[in-house]
């Protein structure tokens, strides 16, 4: 990512040595004039590095170094100071260095390195905690603050301040307020490394306000699609709609299998329909059951009244109209 005020300085996030894809943010102004913000496509569960690149003559004074301070989800993690006018950089015209994570001195020599990492963000149905509201504002954002500084001598202060992500135990789903954030940035378990690094004191000839801030809103590809930063993946074209000449042998066999299944289903449905039709035609009469009594008749005339003769006890049907 380039900075519009300082084009000679660039910062990027890398996974496996490759810069993460960056996307512009539309219709939103940065909070500070010295801040540039972009979306980046995060890789879930991956370690990443912060890469710094600058022209050797971009500093106001040859004695100046660049202090790069890294903040994960709004929380300070570490800083590193780059002396950009070393022999190699002067020969190339550019200085490039990366920061892998947080370093701390080890008691038995060497140092411990806790690498930067993306981790899945757990959500729950709990209430939004008041103390988390400010932290949540920067969730899903990594910022790099660059400040001109000068070496003021060796520091005897040891940096043993442990870092812990504020979101290790998850957040309330309600607190995200519809934002598509499925990751948070954290540190991996420490690794022992050989070598030494020097702790120095700094002085700030132009004040300790950063001259450039790079903000990376990291999201997975799915998150970027949900937030309409990148288009959603198009639905695959069905085999039936594709050109037969473009189908592989396996796809042709699958298409034939589907066609046979549809044909068999159509035949089965047709047969069931014919059975129902025949059944309907065969039940148009009236079922009299096993009763041999012929007292009931079907007629289109007026209702018939029955009465019993007083003389013989024989039932008589009266056909006269009322």
Side-chain half-sphere CA neighbours of 269 within 13 A? 6
DSSP annotation of 40 reads E
Mean pLDDT to the nearest integer, 307-320: 50
Q: What pLDDT is attached to residue 160?
A: 59
d(CA 13, CA 117): 11
Where in the sequence is the domain holding 24, given as residue range(s)? Answer: 9-226
**Strand 141-154, strand 212-219: pairing:** antiparallel
Cβ burial, residue 70 (10 Å; 0-12/13-18/19+): buried
Cβ burial, residue 144 (10 Å; 0-12/13-18/19+): buried
**pLDDT tens per residue, range 120-171:** 998 888 877 766 777 788 899 999 999 999 988 877 665 556 788 878 878 8
Q: What pLDDT is attached to residue 295?
A: 44
Domain presence at residue 205? yes
Longest dimension (CA), the chain: 141
Q: What pLDDT is attached to residue 299?
A: 42
pLDDT at 40 over 90: yes
**Three-class secondary structure of residue 248 per DSSP:** coil
Domain presence at residue 292? no
Q: What pLDDT is attached to residue 27?
A: 57
d(CA 213, CA 141): 12
Number of domains composing the chain: 1
Q: What pLDDT is attached to residue 21?
A: 93
Domain presence at residue 275? no
Domain presence at residue 99? yes
DSSP assignments along 147-210, one per residue: EEEEEEEE-----------TTTT-EEGGGGTT----EEEEEPPPEEE-S----EEEE-TT-SS-
Q: What pLDDT is attached to residue 296?
A: 41
**pLDDT tens per residue, range 57-99:** 899 999 999 999 999 999 999 989 988 887 788 888 889 999 9
Domain presence at residue 203? yes
Q: How many CB atoms lie within 10 A of CB 112?
A: 17
> Which single residue is written with the structure tokens 């991996």?
188
pLDDT at 217 over 70: yes
d(CA 185, CA 176): 16
Side-chain half-sphere CA neighbours of 292 within 13 A? 0
Q: Residue 178 — very low, low, confident or very high, per pLDDT cuts 50/70/90?
A: confident
More confident residue, 72 or 241: 72
Domain presence at residue 232? no
Domain presence at residue 267? no
Q: What pLDDT is attached to residue 281?
A: 76
Q: What pLDDT is attached to residue 286?
A: 46
Q: What pLDDT is attached to residue 177?
A: 81
Domain presence at residue 148? yes
Range from 13-27, 135-149, 286-300 carrying the lowest mean pLDDT: 286-300
Radius of gyration of the chain (CA): 40
DSSP annotation of 34 reads T
- What is the model's pTM? 0.70
């Amino acid at each position: 990512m380039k900075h519009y005020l300082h084009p000679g300085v660039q910062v990027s996030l890398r996974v496996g040595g490759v810069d993460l894809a960056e996307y512009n943010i539309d219709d939103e102004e940065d909070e500070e004039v010295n801040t540039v913000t972009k979306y980046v496509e995060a890789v879930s569960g991956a370690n990443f590095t912060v890469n710094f690149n600058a022209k050797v003559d971009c500093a106001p004074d040859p004695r100046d170094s660049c202090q790069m301070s890294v903040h994960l989800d709004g929380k300070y993690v570490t800083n590193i100071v780059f002396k950009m006018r070393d022999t190699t950089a002067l020969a190339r015209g550019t200085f490039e260095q990366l920061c892998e994570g947080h370093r701390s001195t080890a008691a038995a020599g060497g140092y411990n390195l806790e690498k930067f990492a993306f981790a899945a963000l757990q959500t729950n149905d709990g209430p939004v905690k008041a103390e988390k509201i400010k932290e949540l504002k920067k969730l899903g954002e990594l910022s790099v603050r660059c400040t001109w500084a000068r070496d003021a001598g060796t520091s005897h202060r040891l940096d043993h301040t442990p870092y812990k992500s504020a979101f290790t135990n998850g957040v309330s789903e309600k607190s995200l307020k519809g934002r598509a954030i499925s990751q948070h940035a954290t540190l991996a378990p420490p690794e022992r490394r050989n070598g030494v690094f020097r702790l120095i004191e700094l002085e700030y000839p132009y004040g300790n306000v950063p001259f450039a801030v790079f903000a990376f809103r990291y999201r997975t590809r799915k998150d970027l699609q949900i937030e309409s930063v990148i288009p959603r993946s198009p639905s695959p074209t069905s085999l039936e709609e594709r050109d037969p000449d473009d189908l592989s042998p396996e796809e042709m066999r699958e298409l034939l299998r589907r066609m046979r299944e549809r044909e068999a289903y159509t035949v089965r449905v047709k047969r069931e329909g014919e059975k129902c039709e025949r059944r309907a035609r065969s039940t148009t009469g009236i079922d009299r059951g096993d009763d041999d009594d012929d007292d009931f008749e079907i007629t289109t005339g007026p209702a018939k009244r029955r009465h019993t003769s007083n003389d013989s006890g024989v039932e008589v049907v009266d056909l006269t109209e009322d």
